[in-house]
Amino acid sequence: MQSRILIVPFVAVMLLAAGCGKSADEQAKEDATKKLSDAGKQMEQAAKDMEDAAKKGGQGMADAMAKMGMAVGGAVGEAAKSVGTAVEPVDFRELKALLPESIGTMKRSSAEGEKGGGFGIVVSHAEGRYRGDGGSVDLKITDPGTLSGFAAMAAMWMNMDLDKETDTGYEKTGTANGRRFHEKYDKNSKSGEYTVIVGNRFMVEINGNGIDMPTMKKAIDQVNLAKLESMKDVGVRK
């Protein structure tokens, strides 16, 4: 009788697993991403608590800082779990070839690339600098390589709904053409940043000074994101 009692739930679990159609690895990554998102929300709340505590002369600051520490610790732990797939990063020369020659009226003043790391972590990136008409833009494309959980770490803020506005600027997250982005701009200094995750692997970052946000977005448009996305499985060791 006891063996029969054990077999029935075992069969039920097996049927449920077969019906869901997901491997243990896929489910683990989904769970890790959700936990990262939760940790991100906890960090956001802890930051608000710290800000409120500062306005009250420090009352409750210790508790807010403790909560922030727990949230950060949990995020780092989940990110570490998600780093499991061995990935050889794309040759930085291929990333460098995606940097546009110019952005609007700004010409590229320099371009560089690098592949390196340590402790079993290898990352490649390419970066271009653009100058002209009193403005400047730094454009960087990063392949986290062996940090296969990098996009999951980015999800801490990418998956949070953020829409903030002040007298001088704004900050928000969203989705454009199926890709998550983070956008921040200050009107007084005419400076800002725009970041997009491509293929759940690559990060394309724009930092601009003395220019408007449409110009920074134009820089993103001039990178062949479709080609970059086609590289998302390059170097993945299965």
Q: Is 135 helix (H, G, I), strand (E, B) or coil?
A: strand
Q: Percent of the chain beyond pLDDT 90?
A: 35
Q: Identify which has the larger pLDDT, 11 or 212.
A: 212
Is the confidence at residue 201, as pLDDT, over 90? Answer: no
Is the confidence at residue 1, as pLDDT, over 60? Answer: no
Tokens of 149: 């959980």
Average pLDDT over residues 215-235: 90
Per-residue pLDDT tens digits for 114-155:
998 766 678 899 999 999 988 999 999 999 876 655 554 554
What spatial distance separates the first Cα and last Cα of the chain, rounded to whole Å?
43
Among 181, 150, 157, 164, residue whose Cα is nearest residue 38 = 157
Q: Identify which has the larger pLDDT, 234 or 84.
A: 234
Where does residue 107 rank: exposed (0-12), middle (13-18), buried (19+ CB within 10 A)? exposed
Please tell me the number of Cα atoms within 13 Å of 96 on its side-chain side: 11
Is the confidence at residue 190, as pLDDT, over 70? Answer: yes
Average pLDDT over residues 24-28: 60
Please tell me the number of Cα atoms within 13 Å of 46 on its side-chain side: 17
Average pLDDT over residues 46-67: 65
Sign of CA pseudo-dihedral 100, 104, 108, 112: negative
Give pLDDT, residue 213: 94
